[in-house]
Structure 1
Amino acid sequence: MPTTPDSQPYASASQRSLTLIATGVVLALLYFGKDVLVPIILALILALLMAPFVRLLQKMRLGHAYAVMIAVLLLATIATGLMMVIGSQIVHLAESLPQYERTVQAKLQLLHDLTIARLEAMRGEAGKVINAFGANGSAGQVPQTQVAPPYANAVDVSVFASPWNAIRSVLSSLWSPLETAGIVLVVLVFVLLEYESLRDRFIRAIGGTDLRATTVAINDAGERLSRFFVSQFSVNVGVGLAIWLGLAVVGLPNALLWGALTAVLRFVPYVGVWLAALLAALLAAAVTPGWTLLLLTLGLFVIVEVLVSQLVEPQLYGHATGLSPLAVVVSAIFWSWLWGPMGLVLSTPLTLCMVVVGRHVRAFTLLGILLGDTPALTLPQRFYQRALSGDADEIIASARIFLRQRSFARYCDTVLLPALQLAQTDLAQKAISPEQLVKARTAVIRVIESLGREAPSQPRWRRRTSVLDDDNLAHYLRQQRENVAGRWQGPLAVAPGSIVLCIGSGNRYDDVATEILVRILRDLRIDARHVSMQDVEDFQAEDHPEATPNAVSMIHIVNAAGAGGWVSGEAVAREIRKRFAEVVITAVLLPHLLETQEPSQLGADIDRVAQSFEQAAQFTIEKFA
């Protein structure tokens, strides 16, 4: 049965309902199945990381099963050793806690005296003043002094458990992680044993007949995850070593524990290292009566973390994950809400996998756009979108950032001209409303005026009406120059060969591109002037005794309509050659959107061909060098 236009809204509403239901079902499965999914996903991620090591062992002529067992045993040994170090340090710390009871009590009492006691004293003085104002006829009465009980200002300090109770508590709390670790190791062994088979099944299930795209996606995910985790592991181990050595130097007990804890917790994005710093600072506050050790501990964490995050990490892997910072934060919140602390640790690799899938699988493109660090819009698209919104200030700010490293000509080639061509396409299709057209025209004029060296002749509030009335951008921008420098856009008595003329090849879009080229050249302090063939005829027909003979040395004929629009440009070139026999004539053939080919025949009147504003500017600079 064919779909009628009336049934389309109902179909779209039904599709949205199915999408919402499917999303709810997936979230429910993720939440209630976390006890099963977390070990499996962790094992899959570890398999991606360990597969290259397994292949390396196989190249050493070890069997596949033996290579898998050696790799898993090595991983288990490293993890067990780390846990034993942390556990022994925790036991030693638990045995030492009773020694710090008096120091903790003294510091809590000091904090109480500096905060709560002072607030209570201030409240008592304020009460006396209020009672003095309200005591009418009660001056002879002796006020009743309330005696606080001896335990009012005492600080309640918890009683420290015995070492055996601490060990029992630690073991009970570690039982669940140990159980999860055992499941992960078992699943990891079978995943590595069937790694190739699982990859083939995944390609068949996801990619179907498009084996190339799916293979690229899997390789990309493996490379990104491996590069990210190897870099992160190296950095975290280095941070742990630095914290261990630094705390040992300043004299904090159990420095090895805090170094190992920092290395482990730093896998938790953003908050892990500061959690380790908080725990170490609490111990530093309990060890010595003063505050020097606490300040040194916090200072060490701050210095190490700032140096690593600002200097080491950007150089080592920077944005190698391909994730936007906001995506990392949001994913950490989302996965920790679903799966708790383990979800917080797995949030970055899970999000990275989704971004890679979104980049290579068309059905999940939205994930790559929302979570990746690739800009959602190109620079021309951003320019055009901001122009339609009338947001010229943001365009100018973005352009000034671009111009810090590149030239004005390059900006016009890569951003301004493609954006104007996008607008030209929408205008031809009548896809722009009159209000949007007014906003875009005004924004483009402001941008061009702001980026060039030429200052407008009138303030913005006086120019607004004329901007809206004149729909020819090139005519308006040229008129601004004529208002300042006269009809011929500058003096006529100039040095011989110092003027460059720029002429459009036939339509108003060529005129806009010509005006842009003029401003590029004038920004380079070249006396460029925007004229038409009618202007040339009028100038030669009039009498200008002050004009310098042979003042023009170069003429640019600008075509912005692509290779197919050069027919009128050829006629302009012939007419120019008749009037200026000795000048250098350059055909500036600007690409139209994705078109870059040259016209088949340019004619004998053209001396040089430029295919961009930047190339035309370079030719001009070479002429005047």
Structure 2
Amino acid sequence: MEEIPVMDGLMLQSSQVDEMGSERADAGLPAGGHGGDCPPTPWAGPVHPCTSWYSLRAWLPGWASQARQAQQRLGMIREPFKADHPSQPADHTLVSPPVDPLPPRHEAERGRNGLSTSPLVACAIVLALLYLAREVLVPVALAAMLSLLIAPLVRRLRRLGLPATPAVLTAVGSLCAGVAALTVMLAVQLVDMTASLPQYESSIRAKVATVKELTVDRLDSLQGTAGRLFKHLSEPERPAPGRGATSRLKTNPSGERVQVEVYQPPPTSLSVLTHLAASLWEPLATAGIVLIVMMFTLLEHESLRDRLLRLIGGHDLRASTEVLNDVGERLSRYFVSQFAVNFGVGAVVWLGLWTIDLPHAMLWGVLTALMRFVPYIGAMIATVPAVLLGAAVEPGWTLMLMTLATFAVIEVLAAQVVEPLLYGHSTGLSPLSVVIATIFWSALWGPVGLLLATPLTLCLLVAGRYVPSLKFLDILLGDGPSLTRPQRFYQRTLSGDAHDLIAQARTYLKKKSFASYCDNILLPALQLAARDHELGLITPEQSQRMQKVVVDVISALDGSPRRRRQRHEAHTVLDLSSPGVALRRQREAEMGRWQGPLSVPTSSLNLCIGQGSIGDELMTELLTRALRDAGLDARHMSVTDADEVPPEARTESVARVFIQSGESQAATQTLVLQLQQDLPQASLIQVQLPAWVTGQATHSPAPPGVMVVESFRDAVSCALETGPAQRGSKARD
């Protein structure tokens, strides 16, 4: 029986091909094709090649998809025998087509991924658009920001009963009138100051001579022989006559040299006006575009809001409305606060300079208010000309120093006191992000970018806060913590930075208790470390470093004096045991074996018993310190300490016994039964920390007669409610 290779890896028996041909004949189709489509050929085989191919697709559905994919991958199969080539040899095989160097599967992947761009490419495209289209985007951005500033006035006019168009025209007209009045006032002040400058000429000459005497002349006198030698060596060599020298004299036809002098005619009034108009045309055109766009933005405020809601996400109006409200609230608060602060500072500067009798104090006050809208350098721009005028007015230096001191005091108070109170925390931007954003937008859009840097960056911050794909903007630009407090504690322990953790903990403990610090920061951080330790991600060196940092932090928060020898001893014990035992022995070294006197009043002791494991001992020591921080007399004991209790210890002194939820429920029940027999008068409290702290999915039920608490704060509250604190300290939350 003959095998016919139809495709690579697919062989058919000749009998199977004959059967397929007969079945096609029964179906009313010719055996050599499908419906007579195949051309006649002198091929003398059991079945035509087209019959083999179409029979495959018709009668072997399991191979149909594979054949279709192979056909797409390899291209159209060439017919080996044509009717116009009778000399083609008879063969029972299909000629394999040439293999495409790039399979269509890869082409499909390339076409599927061709439209997708990487984030870097998308970022480059956006930056290019921002830079190339700045002539259009700058006026639109200015109009949008000014519309946000005027929108509250328009809404107030609408509430008074004015229609939309008159309200917008009134608000815009008021803005233009204010700007025009301010411009006229500044122009008058500048003209007056320019006219008064000649009377200060003698004072200016004297100040320049004094400065020159103190700087340039002093440096010249300090130059010695070495300086003159260096000057002599640095002089360029004079070119030889006739070589390399270019004469500035021209010769007349007689050969005599004459000197040519270029004469510039005095400018006419028309040329001056033309030059002035050319200089003012671009800013005036930009101002006109901004004014027109701002008016239409205010007129179509509601329509634009609906369009933005639809673009942001019309399917989720709640989230879209929250985004727009957040942007509008932040920008409005920022603009109003900045406007109030800047003009308030300008008014104070005006009064201060008027008090010290500096001429044109109003001019410098208004200039200060306007320049403060330019971040970082605006105040310095306003300070320099006022200080120079103070130096020119009087022969002495008193007025100049008083002017400089006035600006310095006012700016320091505004930057350190007023601005943080009004809008220091209203934007949510970190100081570093504001600086970088200012540099970035200034490089893109020039001075206008310097003015709009903070508002535009604030919009990016809000977008990163609500758009998942832009979350990195919130992390990079926001002033919120990038890591949670437990994550930060864990990271600092990995790096061995105990000093930073101690500083952060002391700041936290100024308002919160040590129990709250353990519940919210320390215990979750230790659980993060435990998870990585179970996964084998922490090396022994890292584990030892982390234990040392934990001991150092908790020891520093105790408040008791520590000697260098005791700290060294604690670290030595830590290397041999666990952090909990090391911390306990630190307290025993200061307070005695039993961490305090044994002769105490009845029902005044709180025993915290650990069950021997490293985790239980650390949790027990932390709970002991939390109870002592609340003013309770707490002692840390282990199950092995019961045999060492001295005879003078009285059982009736114990009021409460705190037990950690150990790994073995049977051991916990045995310990509870033993305690109920030995200390029948004491209250038994079992601390079952939540699963996100301990890592245990569930906790076993507590034995009968045992109270259960789920946090250190609950344990402290339970101890304070069931009995008075011995030292009378009031527990913090």
How far apart, in 2, do the equivalents of 1:351 and 1:560 lie? 52
The Cα of 1:326 is off from its aligned counterpart by 0.9
Change (3 A) 1:43 1:506: farther
Q: Deviations over 1:35-87 (max 9, x none)?
A: 21111111112223333332332222222222222222222222222222222
Counterpart position of 2:684: 585
Query: Distance in 2 between the 1:80 and 1:53 partners?
Result: 19
CA distance in 2, matches of 1:568, 1:271: 70
Most deviating of 592-601 and 351-360:
592-601
Aligned to 1:116: 216
Mapped partners of 1:447, 1:320: distance in 2? 34
Name 2:145's counterpart in structure 1.
45
Gaps of at least 5 residues in structure 1 are: 2-9, 131-160
The amino acid across from 1:606 in the alignment is: V
Bigger relative contact order (CA 8 A; separation at least 6): 1
Q: For 1:189-588, list aligned pairs within 5 A.
A: 189-207=295-313, 209-453=315-559, 455=562, 458-461=565-568, 463-464=570-571, 466-470=573-577, 472-482=578-588, 488-504=594-610, 508-524=614-630, 526-536=632-642, 538-539=643-644, 544-559=646-661, 572-588=671-687
Offset of residue 321 of structure 1: 0.9
| 3-state SS, counterpart of residue 270 of structure 1 | coil
Q: Check the 8 A contact 2:612/2:639 in 1, yes or no.
A: no
Write the deviation string for residues 154-208 of structure 1: whole angstroms up to 9, x where unpaired. xxxxxxx9x9999998876554333222111111111122222222222322335
Could you tell me how far 1:273 is from its partner in structure 2? 1.1
Q: Which residue of 1 aligns with 2:185?
A: 85
Residue 126 of structure 1 and its aligned partner are, at CA, apart by: 8.5
Superposed CA deviations along residues 244-291 of structure 1, whole A, max 9, x for unmatched, are 122222222222211111001111122211210112111222222221
**Does the 8 Å CA contact 2:342/2:373 hold for their aligned counterparts?**
yes
Cα distance in 2 between the residues matched to 1:529 and 1:458 = 24
- Which stretch has the larger CA shift, 372-381 or 413-422? 413-422
Query: Which moved further from structure 2: 524-533 or 101-110?
Result: 524-533
- Could you state the TM-score of these two structures normalised by the residue count of structure 1? 0.82
Change (3 A) 1:211 1:469: farther
Listed one character per residue, the Cα deviations across residues 139-160 of structure 1 (whole Å, up to 9, x for unaligned) are xxxxxxxxxxxxxxxxxxxxxx
Change beyond 3 A, Cα 1:235–1:410? same
In structure 2, the CA distance between the partners of 1:120 and 1:457, relative to structure 1 (3 Å rule), is: closer
SS in 2 for 1:531: strand
Q: 2:356, 2:399 within 8 Å by CA — same for their partners in 1?
A: yes
Give, in angstroms, the shift of residue 474 of structure 1. 2.4
Contact 1:449–1:456 under 8 Å retained in 2: no
C-alpha change, 1:575 and 1:75, in structure 2 (3 Å) is farther
Taking the aligned partners of 1:589 and 1:26, their CA distance within structure 2 comes to: 54
2:147·2:297 contact (CA, 8 Å) conserved in 1? yes
Deviation at 1:571, TM superposition (A): 6.0
Q: Which segments of 5 or more consecutive residues in structure 2 lack a partner in the other structure? A: 1-68, 70-109, 231-266, 726-733
Task: Describe the shift of the 1:398–1:296 C-alpha distance in structure 2 as closer, same or farther (beyond 3 A).
Answer: same
SS of corresponding position for 2:501: helix
How far apart, in 1, do the equivalents of 2:662 and 2:401 lie? 65
- Cα 1:34–1:247 change in 2 (3 A) is same
The CA distance in 2 between the partners of 1:76 and 1:323, in whole Å, is: 32
After superposition, the Cα gap between the structure-2 partners of 1:248 and 1:55, relative to the gap in structure 1 and judged at 3 Å, is: same
Q: Counterparts of 2:648 and 2:407 in 1: how far apart (Å)?
A: 75
Amino acid across the alignment from 1:19? P
> Do structure 1's residue 179 and structure 2's residue 285 form an aligned pair?
yes
Output the amino acid matched with 1:498.
S
Q: 1 CA distance for matches of 2:598 and 2:330?
A: 63
The 3-state SS of whatever aligns with 1:529 is strand
Q: Which moved more, 1:587-596 or 1:546-555?
A: 587-596
Which of the pair is proportionally richer in helix?
1
What letter corresponds to residue 648 of structure 2 in structure 1? Answer: E
Structure 1: distance between partners of 2:673 and 2:117: 66
Q: Larger deviation: 378-387 or 432-441?
A: 432-441
1:322 CA drift (Å): 0.7
CA deviation string 1:459-506 (max 9, x = no partner): 445554543443x33234334445565654445444433321012478
What is the aligned residue count? 576
Equivalent pair of 1:245/1:255 in contact (CA under 8 Å):
yes
Q: Is the 8 A contact 2:651 2:679 kept in 1?
A: no
Residue 166 of structure 2 is matched in structure 1 by 66
RMSD: 3.7
Structure-2 separation of matches of 1:580 and 1:339: 78
Q: Deviations over 1:98-145 (max 9, x none)?
A: 333332222111111111112222336998999xxxxxxxxxxxxxxx
- AA at the equivalent of 1:118: R
Aligned residue for 1:550, secondary structure, equals helix
Decide whether aligned partners of structure 1 residues 170 and 441 sit closer, same or farther in structure 2, where only a CA change above 3 A counts. farther
Alignment match, 2:250: none
Q: Is the 8 A contact 1:456 1:481 kept in 2?
A: no
1:212 is aligned with what amino acid? R
